[in-house]
Amino acid sequence: METRKLQKIGGSTYSVSLPKEWATEHHLEAGMPIHLYPHTDGSLVVRSAAQDGGPLSAVTVDLPTADTNAVERALRAAYAVGYDTITLLAPETTEFTADERRAVRRLVQTMVGLSVTEETTDRLVVENLLDASEVSIRQSVIQLQFTACSMHRTAIERVANRATERESDRLAGRDDEVDRLFEMITRHFNRSLADFAEIDDLDVRRSELFDYYLVARQLERIADHAVRIGALASRIDPTVDDDVFAEVGALAGATCEVAETATTAVLETSAERAHEALDRRDAVGDDLRALDRALFERSPPGAYALSRVLASLTRTADCGANVARVALRASVRPDE
């Protein structure tokens, strides 16, 4: 960091000298224009480039192969980085097949704000049509938490009811909704690293956006565990005692409460709620381990599948604890 003194020129103009090394590195000379970008966090960015965050305006990806997997991977990567316009070019002497173009259209439908704007045999253009000022990251996190915990409760109900595999598969559709929100939050977070204006448009502090990203990542994992739990429902032996299912259900509810309380702690910057969530995680963790040991010792039919359910419940509680730690850090962070 370097310190400069403001100089007053005339009645209303201030000037400040720039480090010579910086000017030389960017090939600046006296009389050349530079660009100033004031931001809502109190910073003033000085750039030699004409546009803050300009490198994220567009990207062209030359695909090494035009198969569906390569096309989807490239599009996901460019979307996550935060590009506004993504152009996918097929390899020379190769064209996109109808299946590959359909795959891109299907994938774009799962990504918030994207639309296919140009489509030829060797060129696909996808553009972001959603302005960051129209996005509420906070509300997206709330929706993520609601959906993930709702999936969690549904999965446990299916375990208790010994749901069929087909019924459990329906959770996957809701998991797609969670992935869609998480990918959107990831995109905006990544954009904020290169474009200060993103923070202004989203109307959040940089530290807040980072916290929301960390919370969203844990909630996405909770949703994944809900899918795993639901998939185990049809594999549990129906002769397992109802008392065991009742205990599993009670513990599952407690693990979800950990995540809910922890998310509220982040949204409210509440150290008290964060400690409450961590204390609950410790208690439910002890109970889950005790039940797992009891299942192992009794070895009832279907114990293996139930043990895997308990493992996912433990991971869910751990995810909630990770969210609570985010809240604790936020509660002691100095005001920006």
pLDDT in tens, 162-209: 666 665 567 888 999 999 999 999 999 999 998 888 999 999 999 999
pLDDT in tens, 283-292: 999 999 999 9
Between CA 153 and CA 233 the distance in angstroms is 13
**Domain 133-332: which CATH class?**
mainly alpha
pLDDT in tens, 92-151: 878 998 988 999 999 999 999 999 999 999 999 999 999 999 999 999 999 999 999 999
Q: What is the DSSP letter of 161?
A: T
Q: Which token pair is 306?
A: 């139930």
Q: For the structural domain made of 55-128, what CATH number should be given?
A: 3.30.110
Q: How confident is the model at residue 79 (pLDDT cuts 50, 70, 90)?
A: very high
**Per-residue CA distances from 111 to 173, 269, 284 (Å):** 14, 30, 36
b/e map 133-156, b = 16+ CB within 10 Å: eebebbebbeebbebbbebbebbb
By residue count, the chain amounts to: 336
**Per-residue CA distances from 99 to 117, 120, 141 (Å):** 18, 13, 34
The model carries a pTM of: 0.88
Q: What is the DSSP letter of 50?
A: S
